Every structure is written in C-alpha cells, then in structure tokens.
Chains A and B, each alone.
Chain A
Amino acid sequence: MRLYLAVFALLAAVHCEELINGDQVLRINAESEDHIQILKMLERDVDSGLDFWTHGFSTERPVDIRVPHSSLHAVKDFLKKNNIPFTVMINNVQELLVREREEMARNAEVERQTKGFDFAAYHDLETIYNFMDTLVASHSNLISKVNIGSTYENRPMYVLKFSTGGEKRPAIWIDAGIHAREWISHATAVWLADRIATDFKENRAPVPSILSKMDIYLMIVANPDGYVFTHRSPNEFYRLWRKSRSATSNPKCQGVDLNRNWDAEFGGTFILLFSLVATDPNGFALLNVPTFSLGPGASDDPCAEDYRGPSAQSEIEVKNIADFIMSHGNFKSFMTLHSYKQLLMYPYGYSGTDAPDRTELHDVASQASKALNSWHGTVYKVGSIFHIIEPASGASVDWAYQRGIKYSFAFELRDTGEYGFLLPANQIVSTARETWYALRYIMQYVCDHPY
C-alpha cells in the first residue's frame, strides 16, 4: 500500500501538461482482479495526468493509457513492480501527430510518379541523381537534365530544366547545396522539383502560367564533391564540411567556400587605393609591397571555412554555373538555398550600401516571407545579406545582381539554431512546403514584372 501512496504522490506532483510531446501510449494487459483494482485506482487519481483511452476494465481486452512524458519512468516502474504486462503502443504522441499531419498533407497531393521516393529523408548523391533521372523520365514533356560541367573530383553537375518550349525564354535560377553541410537545402530542392512537376501536371496555378512564359532551372546539388564528403562518416569533420574539395596551397587543408568565390567584390576595393598611394609623384615607394585582398566576410587562409580561394571563379563549380548563366543570357531571377537561421535576403553582401532596387526587393521578400509563414507559422527575417547575417564578399547573389539579374535572393532555411545543420528529417517536408510558398510568390512576381 505504501508503494501505491508513494507512486500517487509522485504522480500527483506532476501537474497536467497541455503539451503531449514525448508522451507515450501504453497498452496494458490486465491479467487478474488485482491488476484491475490497480488500474481503477490509477484512473481515479485525477492529478496523475494519465489519460485513459479505454474505459471499463477487464482481463479480456487491453487498456490503453496516454502517459505524460514526465511520468513515464514512474508509471513503467510501477507497472513492472506489480507485474502488469504492458507494451509501448505509441512511442511519441506529439511526433506521431506531426507525422500524421505531414502524411495527410502528402496523401492529399496528387499521386507521385516517382517510384516511392521518400521525401522525408536525407539521401546521398547517388540517390538524388537517380531521383532526377526518374523525375525526368516521368515528366519528359517538361523536364530535361542539363550537364553544365564537372566538379573538381570529376562528378557531373546537373541542372533540371523545366520548360514548355520557346527559345531561351526568360528564366529563373534556383540552386541548393552550395554549402555541403546544409542538408535541408538539398532535401528541400528535391521536394521542390517534384512539386513543380506535379503542379504542372495537375494544372495547379500558378505553375502552368509561369511555365508558359518562363523557364525554371533547378540545381539540387551545387557542390557534389562536398556533399559526398559529408556522407563519408558521422565524424563532424566530414558531416560538417562546408566547402568544395579542391586542393589548396596548404597541403593540410582543402576546399574553398563556394559562396565567397564569385566575381563580386572578390578582391575588395583596397587594390585601387594602394595603386594611388604607390603612384605618389613625390616618390613614396610602396611599389614592391604586395596588395592584400580585402573583401569583407571572407578569408585568405586555405584552412578557413570561408576561404575565398586564390581568385574569383577559381573553383570549377562556380565557374560552371557562372558560365552557364552568362551564356544563357536571359535569367531574370537568381535564388539560392542555404541553412540555417530562417532568413530571406537580397543584395548586397559585400557592402552595407542599399542596392538600387532595395525597396522593391525588400517588399518582394517581405511578401514572400508572409507566404512562407502561412503554412506553419515559421518566422523569417528579411533584409540585405550584409545587414542581416554578416558582411560577405564574393557571394553568388551579389554576382547575379551585378550581372543585371534583378530578383536575386538568398534563403537561409530552418531552424534558428536548435538543431542548426542537423535538422531532423521529419522537418524536411514542412520546410520544403513553406519554402515553396515563398518561391512561388517570388516566381509569380518575377513573371508579372518582366524587364
């Protein structure tokens, strides 16, 4: 009896929680009248927080109880001590609800052509490349796969081209995975590819109308070498790799930060100043002094995570993309997916000065972030890269903007820091969907505002 009192006291000390995260549902098989009496006592104790899903006890059928997370150990111990058999029927109720909701959302969508691909999981490069081929095969009237060149380690770089025809129509560029460790960006892009294809097939606005006027180019893995590296081992040195995998001037350190390697204020403005000082006619001799690169927010140290590389576009991955976009010549929007921090940003990264189109870009980004927020309540902050996240030179978005691609945006996807780069896979579909809402808004806007 004392044992019962002790347990009740413990359970009573637990105040009812409204949340059900971590709660479990236990299935109890009462085997004797004693067991039934115990269950009745538990049910009578309203302070215990136990939520009986079955009422009326007998030895003929199981009794299901939702047990709050905080009481789990106590309740299980109690059942064990009294030799009452039980099993864990639902391991985590909150998780289940989230999963179910996402499952329902998935099922409500049109049946996928891709053969049972699991969008709620992170996949390695080979699987993603296979997915691309399957997608292209299932939507061959819309999608083609373009090989824009090879990586440092000689892997192909693929872009999915969504087009209903025409000749070099005004186009939208979206890339993901330029930083290898930001797995949610690749996973989101995989989902997006499928979503765009499905929306087109099912004639769901605004995708068909956008695709009647514009092409969409989607690069799911912009840094294949880096991505493969992150899969080589759970050791953080591999999983948290950011850069490319090229050899550098330091044999101990590899890789360049591909988002500091673009030709946008790569060398900073210092070189200009130095040539002035050096040409002082009063003979102040500084001519033999080497000039130093000074774009902010990037490093000249090959071992640094934000190493900009020896020169702009020194990285083949960057060169391939830049050459492709320049030779196409008709891109109207450039968007890049990263993680984490929940931000939607526009140029500049290298300077705090307002871009000429700042007002319009800020409006578009604000509206897009509202659209994003409407799915799951996720809050994004909006602003220029320099002000919101950090000064950064040699960034792709600056490069695109300076080449006349006005609607250039950078996304930092979920979350704000709790899991960071290691975002749980069960958040992939939610993240992808809310991101799609934002992208869809921007694409619609770009389509409605030709220039």
Chain B
Amino acid sequence: MLSVIHTHLESVSSRLCYATVLRFINSSSSGPRSSPERIMKAFCSLWLLLSLVELSPAPPASQEPPLVCRGATDPAPPQPETQEDMASTGDLEPTHFPARRAAQVALHHLNTLHGSPFRVFGLQQVHKASAEDVAAGGRKYSLDFSVTDWASGSAGPALRCSAEVMFPRTQQHSGPEVQLRCEALQQVSSTAEEHAFYQKYVTPDSAVSAQHLPDSYGNMSEDMQPFWRLARVAASFIMLRESSENTEFNMVQVASITQQESSEKQLMLDYVVLLHDLPSQEIVQWKLLVSWSPDRGVRVLQTEWQPRCPHATKPPN
C-alpha cells in the first residue's frame, strides 16, 4: 500500500512536499511536533489538496472563448504532471507516447515549412529519442525519426529526419520551438501538379466551396484532395502553436471550405477544421484564413477558436 501511495505522491507533488508528507507517514505519530514541522505539514497538505483540484483549463493564448453550447471544453487543457513526466529525461522509449508526441510536433513544424496541396508528411516511426530539462523549466527532446508523404500513398519513400523540440514551461502557454533537418528534402521544387492546381483555381470566377472533407464514410472526391491537404498544412500551424507535452493533435476533418477572392495572386481559402487531441480525446474547432501559391507556400493569416455548437445544425428527423 505504501508503494501505491509513493506512486501517487510522486505524480502530484513536488519533491519537497513529497518528502515532507512521506516523513509524516513513515514516522510514528507519537510525541509533540515542532512548530515549523506543523506549518510545513499544513502547507504541504494544503498544497496537495489544491494541486488535486482540477482547475479550469486556460483558453488558448489567442483569445477567450465564450462559454456557449457545451461549457468548458477548451483546447489543450493542461494536465497534471504524471509519473511518466517525472521520469522521462534521458533516453526515451521510441514507441512510448512522450517521444511520439514530440515527434508529432516536429512533424507539424515540417509541414508548415514544406507542406503543400500535394505534400503532407506523416510520422512513420521514431528511431531514437531522449529528453533533458533545460534552463527556465523547459524540456528539450532530441529525436531521430522517419516520415512519409501521405500524398504518395503507401508506396512512397520514407525520409529520415532529426529534430530538437523544446517545450517551454511558462505561466502563459507558448508554443514549442523546433529545429529540424531531413535528408533528401527538396527545398524548392513546387511541382507541375501544384502549378496546374494553382492555375485552375486562382482564376477570378473560381468559388470552391464544400463541407465535410472527408464525409462520415471517409469519402472525398479526388478534386477536393489538394484542398484537404492544404487545410492539413494550415492546421499544422495551429497544432504546432497549441502543442505541449500533454497534447497530441491531429486533424480529423475539414468541416468546411469557402474560397475567397484571390488577393495578390494567392489562393485565399476560409477553412473550418476539426482537430483531435489524443490525451483528452477532445475535438477542437478552428477557423482559419489561409493563402497559398506555389511560390509563397502556405500562410495562415487569421485563426479563430470556435466553440462546438449542436444547436447550429439540427439533425434531419
């Protein structure tokens, strides 16, 4: 039983309070206690108590979401440090989630740099990973991993990458910092596909608009796939920004896409994307204004967190 308590204490308290309460439990309860000890015990018990109250998670740094429709389900709710967190410095098991989460963050960064309507990278495998605490309370992960281009299908080659991902630990959430190197990554080449796609849709009368990509059954027309990939790349900007060691984001669906008038020869698209966070299992909705051209790449011009509202769309009866 004591080991169970040990485990639990490790998971919620700082080492100082842990030591204090442990001493309390281990020592017999006979004899008077000194005043400082009492104070320490009181403080630590209260600290423990407070640390266990699940505080309402902070909304994203960008804005305060209105509490409508479903009450508080805000993106990236911070979770208390788990036993895994405490232990995970030094070499990490590549198949375990701390390494994988850090690698996904590196992937988001990769996609913001090199993603396009015809290129989206996904994680294939983490080969090696390690983590160390850094100054000012952050943690830095070093990763060796492979990625594939989803647009190439299952036959595409795997690219080897290495990255450092630094999660800062500040009061106000700030996004992770990533340094990344991938072998054989063509820096420049926008392909003929991209140009053809661009030419087709940058015309003034183009007004693409769609919902539910893919649909409930996983279907998506071929024509819409580049738009889906573009959304996935744009979503990477948000996912990168909102990531922490306690999140693992993925894009589930493009809820809607509405093409805006092209500006400065950029394709302009209004997206509503749905993200899934694995640890909390929450679905998070973001509205994005995105521009793209083969030359300038993907840019996210505006982002807006959206509450999920069942009342907005009534189901058919």
Contacts and interface: CB of A to CB of B under 8 A. Distances in A.
A pairs with B = yes
Interface of A: 10, 13-14, 18-19, 21-22, 69-70, 73-74, 91-92, 94, 121-122, 230-240, 242, 250, 252-253, 257, 268-270, 272-273, 276-277, 280-282, 284, 286, 289, 292, 294, 296-297, 299-301, 303-306, 341, 351-353, 377, 379, 381-383, 386-391, 416-427
Nearest to B94: A381
Nearest to B283: A240
B163 to A, nearest CB: 18
Contacts of A250: 71
Nearest to A419: B218
**Chain B, interface size: which category?**
35 or more
A353 B310 CA distance: 40
Given A252-B70, A418-B150, A236 B45 contact: no
A268 B54 contact: no
Nearest to A18: B155
Contact of A94 (B21, B153, B312): B153
Interface of B: 1, 4-5, 7-9, 11-12, 21, 25, 29, 33, 38, 41-42, 45, 49, 52-54, 69-73, 82-84, 87, 93, 95-97, 122-123, 125, 150, 152-156, 191-193, 196, 200, 211-212, 214-219, 222, 225, 248, 250-253, 255, 274, 276, 278-283, 285, 308-310, 312-316
Contacts of A388: 95-97
A45 B5 CA distance: 75
Contact of B153 (A10, A19, A91, A268): A19
Q: In the complex, which of the residues B52, B218, B310 has the most CB atoms of chain A within 10 Å of its own CB atom?
A: B218
A10 B192 contact: yes
Given A234-B215, A416-B123, A306 B96 contact: no
A284 B44 CA distance: 12
The main secondary structure of chain B at its interface with chain A is mixed
B126 to A, nearest CB: 10
A236 B71 contact: no
A428 B201 CA distance: 34
A304 B192 contact: no
A303 B308 contact: no
A220 B250 CA distance: 27
Contacts of A381: 95
Given A301-B54, A305-B280, A233 B196 contact: no
Given A237-B308, A284-B41, A422-B215, A387 B84 contact: yes
B54 A306 contact: no
B216 A284 contact: no
Which 10 pairs, one residue from A and one from B, show the smallest C-beta to C-beta distance?
A424-B218, A233-B315, A305-B281, A232-B315, A70-B193, A417-B250, A235-B313, A303-B71, A269-B8, A237-B310
Contacts of A390: 97, 248, 278-279
Given A122-B217, A281-B29, A303-B73, A389 B97 contact: yes
A235 to B, nearest CB: 4
Contacts of A299: 54, 280
A425 B122 CA distance: 21
A425 B218 CA distance: 6
Contacts of A420: 250-252, 276
Contacts of B282: 304-305
B69 A389 contact: no
A252 B71 contact: yes
A292 B53 contact: yes
B245 to A, nearest CB: 12
Contacts of B315: 232-233, 235, 238
Contacts of A230: 216
Contact of A273 (B8, B217, B279): B8
Contacts of A91: 222
A272 B4 contact: yes
30 contacts: A19-B156, A69-B222, A70-B192, A73-B200, A92-B222, A122-B216, A233-B314, A234-B212, A236-B253, A237-B310, A240-B274, A240-B283, A252-B70, A252-B71, A257-B281, A268-B8, A269-B5, A280-B29, A282-B29, A292-B52, A294-B8, A296-B82, A303-B73, A306-B280, A383-B93, A391-B82, A420-B251, A421-B276, A424-B219, A425-B219
B313 A233 contact: yes
B276 A269 contact: no
Contact of B97 (A377, A387, A418): A387
B5 A273 contact: yes
Given A269-B8, A292-B52, A303-B73, A424 B214 contact: yes
A301 B77 CA distance: 12
A231 B150 CA distance: 28
Contacts of A292: 52-54
A352 B83 contact: yes
A92 B219 CA distance: 14
A249 B16 CA distance: 37
A427 B218 CA distance: 10
A423 B155 contact: no
Given A237-B313, A240-B253, A422-B217, 7 more contacts: A22-B225, A230-B216, A233-B313, A252-B71, A269-B7, A270-B52, A418-B150
Nearest to A351: B7
Contact of B196 (A73, A237, A272, A289): A73
Contacts of B84: 352, 386-387, 391
A304 B73 CA distance: 7
Contacts of B96: 383, 387-388
A301 B219 contact: no
A247 B308 CA distance: 19
